[in-house]
Amino acid sequence: MRVVLAEDAVLLREGLIRLLEENGCTVAAAVGDGPALVAAVARLRPDVSVVDVRMPPSHTDEGLRAAVTIRRTYPEAPILVLSQYVEVSYADDLLALMSGPRPGGVGYLLKDRVADVADFVDAVRRVAAGGTVLDPQVVAQLLVRRRQADPLAVLSPREREVLALMAEGRSNTSVARRLVITEGAVEKHVTSIFTKLGLAPDDNDHRRVLAVLTFLRS
């Protein structure tokens, strides 16, 4: 798996390169600013880009803006965004990345998650494969923004739990383990969620992303 890494802190960048390469990835390019990231993706078309939100010159949201630019040009380009803190103000841009022609292949993790190497590498691989990965703390902060007119009011408490775990990018098997229920029960809950949210039969992965988007926007 070929990775383009965008991180301006030299020590962290070198650490991420080593971590990724020790776990079977090839870091095709490692850059330190947004324009260099866009150029590297255009030139190399990697399997996934791992991008720090804050990069030069202003150290605000250059990485995220570069990610949005990349997805507009290459809608299929998988991108995993890393942030030091939960940036609720970036939620709309994140949802925009997930709302394109190919809504998968997007992730948003806190940098603290890198310390759990297995989970971090798994997240990189899931995003590269077209999945959606959201840090649990990001999901929690997004939930704070719920509107009064909640489109999820039709869901049962258990269905909301299942959907919240789906929003973290978990598979049905992982959801079942987390809730200590059978995988068959999870599948029934997921089908019920699709029905209650009015998501007509279609590609199952696409419906899953649409359900997560409804959850995050509610």
Domain with CATH 3.40.50.2300 in the chain: 2-135
String of DSSP letters for 71-82: HHH-TT--EEEE
- pLDDT score for 101: 58
Q: Lowest-confidence range among 16-20, 81-85, 180-184, 202-206?
A: 202-206
| CB proximity list for 108: less than 8 A, separation 6 or greater | 80, 81, 83, 90, 94, 133, 134, 135, 138
- pLDDT score for 52: 93
Q: Which residue has the higher pLDDT, 20 or 130?
A: 20
- pLDDT score for 143: 59
CATH class, domain 2-135, is alpha beta
CATH class, domain 146-217, is mainly alpha
- The string of pLDDT tens digits covering residues 29-76 is 999 999 999 999 999 999 999 999 888 877 778 888 898 889 888 888
Domain with CATH 1.10.10.10 in the chain: 146-217
pLDDT classification of 148: cutoffs 50, 70, 90: very low
Query: What secondary structure letter does DSSP report for 61?
Result: S
Half-sphere exposure at residue 209, Cβ-oriented, CA atoms within 13 angstroms? 23
pLDDT classification of 175: cutoffs 50, 70, 90: very high
